[in-house]
Amino acid sequence: MIFLNDSTIVRPTILLLAPCYNLVGGVFVFNAVSLSQRQILKGEQVGSYFGSVLCPFDIDKDHRTDYLLCQIWVSQVWVGDLDGNGCNDVAVGAPLEEKDESGRSGSIYIYNGYPGGIEKHYSQVL
């Protein structure tokens, strides 16, 4: 999962999602004016399809769109300010994760936002 905001990308920006790039997936970041390529964000695991999921939202409430990039089999949703710190939080669903012997599968991870982005470690698992 990668978080992109004003400290990590220069605006205006075009994000080109390429989930099959080099077998691990990638996201190409372009300058929206000159169309020059700024960077390539690459996935880490073969077959993960990194870059197949893009969740746009405003984590730090600065009225500018931030982005959360992930891989296939994961869903993301903005859930508001769950921890009351003034920044929006994100729920990330992992539908194929198996937690116990009951046969049930799937988990939801809560990641808390802060003024500079989103925490790298989840705060809660449901």
Instruction: Give me the pLDDT at residue 59, please.
Output: 86
78-117 tens-digit pLDDT = 899 999 999 999 998 888 777 667 777 788 999 999 988 8
**What is the predicted pLDDT for the residue at 99?**
67
Asked whether the bond before 95 is cis by omega within 30 degrees of 0, the reply is no
- The predicted-structure confidence for 17-40, as pLDDT tens digits, reads as follows 999 999 999 999 999 899 999 999
Contact indicator for 7, 116 with CB cutoff of 8 Å: yes
Question: What mean pLDDT do residues 37-49 have?
Answer: 90
Per the CB < 8 A criterion, the answer to whether 69 and 50 are in contact is: yes
Mean local confidence (pLDDT), 55-65: 85
